[in-house]
A and B are shown apart, each in its own frame.
Chain A
Amino acid sequence: MPSYPKPQVKQYHPPVKATWWLARPAYIKFMVRELTSLFIAGYAAFLVVLMAKADDVAAFQSIMDALKTPVSILLHLIVLGFALFHSITFFNLTPRVLVVQRGEDRLADAAIAGAHYAMWLVATLVILFVATR
């Protein structure tokens, strides 16, 4: 096949602004979703510290007392909000990734997302049962 030289034309390359993620509401939602990982990681680190102090009765009790302060409860509510936002958006995406084809039809999105929510509920109940035993 003959190859032809490409015409050299001056082109305009639009710059990508640092504020690109403010351009569309969906981009902001995406960035918030990425941000949730910081809160989840932070809370995981807190749980590790808590477990490490489990044998030290005095230190454990002082953490427990600190957890009952209004500031701590507010922080927990913020982390809970981010965790729920992350989990719900994650589960809602599962039908896009797990496509189960039955003949010519796909298994309904609600069935796939619903199965994930059901597993979430079961896991939560098991953890609550073990924790409050």
Chain B
Amino acid sequence: MAGNTGETTTLEVFRYHPEQDSEPRYQTYQVPYQKEWVVLDALNYIKNEIDGSLTFRWSCRMGVCGSCGMMVNGTPRLTCAAFLKDFHPQTIRVEPLAHFPVIRDLVINFDDFINKLTEAKAWLIPKEEKSIEQGEYLQTPAQLAAFKQYSMCINCMLCYAACPVYALEPAFTGPAAIALAQRYNMDSRDGAREERMNYISSDEGVWECTLVGECSVVCPKHVDPAGAIQRAKLETAQEWWQSMLMPWARK
């Protein structure tokens, strides 16, 4: 094997099989230490060579699909981007993403996040429907720049695992769903801002956020959901004051 130094590295992996376990347990595995390996490579080595019962999600191996997010030594990380060499010779503790129910081993149930994305209408709702003959919905580079950062979200949910507000108040809409709502709100082609704002400015929306800011720190795509939430707070506050002071003026 290229890069095999003969050394090993130790992984302490969260295990939970609902048929047998009432509580989770930790299992330790020794894997070959290779400096070009990421934690996901080590998990796949365990699955293929040591213990086929270990269950985890993964797909693209290159930080695009957002399915391999796990807690690595207590921090939410994409395991395809967490290199063994950054931890070696320390033991690496791998756990499922925090703040979500665990279905099996490292696999979480993210129904709640999907429901919130649906509630937030995180998709483009054009101002006016156009037929194919009428052509594309055009946009200038400046109009694209207004929301592009938020469009980089890959729905990996690391931000939810970093958010203590979501842990304490699971009804909180949460970082990614709000950032994605803002992504479409700021899109010049979109016409559903009011519907989304009604949802994200509700009690469980932006005002639950106390700006811990860790969602933006752990985001592998530099989306800055914390910034998106604070901007939405500012907008909703401005709109509220405007409706109070100038009720005749339409938004």
Residues of chain A at the chain B interface (Cβ within 8 Å):
6, 9-14, 16, 20-21, 23-24, 26-27, 30, 34, 93, 96-99, 101, 103-105
Contacts and interface: CB of A to CB of B under 8 A. Distances in A.
Contacts of A99: 227, 231
B98 A96 contact: no
Contact of B214 (A13, A24, A34, A101): A24
Given A16-B167, A23-B74, A9 B18 contact: yes
A11 B102 contact: yes
B18 A10 contact: yes
Given A12-B102, A21-B164, A26-B213, A96 B227 contact: yes
Contacts of A96: 216, 224, 226-227, 230-231
Interface of B: 16, 18, 21, 23-24, 74-75, 98-99, 101-103, 109, 111, 141-142, 145-146, 164, 167-168, 210-214, 216-217, 224, 226-227, 230-231, 233-234
B9 to A, nearest CB: 24
Contacts of A24: 74-75, 214
A11 B103 CA distance: 5
A14 B99 contact: yes
Given A93-B230, A96-B226, A12 B210 contact: no
B145 A105 contact: yes
A13 B23 CA distance: 10
A12 B212 contact: no
B236 to A, nearest CB: 12
Contact of B212 (A10, A13, A30, A104): A30
Contact of B101 (A12, A103, A105): A12
Contact of B210 (A11, A16, A34, A104): A34
Contacts of A26: 212-214, 217
A103 B142 contact: yes
Nearest to A94: B230
11 contacts: A6-B111, A10-B18, A11-B103, A12-B18, A14-B101, A20-B164, A23-B74, A30-B213, A96-B227, A96-B231, A105-B145
Contacts of B103: 9, 11
Contact of A97 (B16, B102, B216, B227): B227
A96 B222 CA distance: 12
Contacts of B234: 97-98
B19 to A, nearest CB: 8
Contacts of A9: 18, 103
Contacts of B212: 26-27, 30
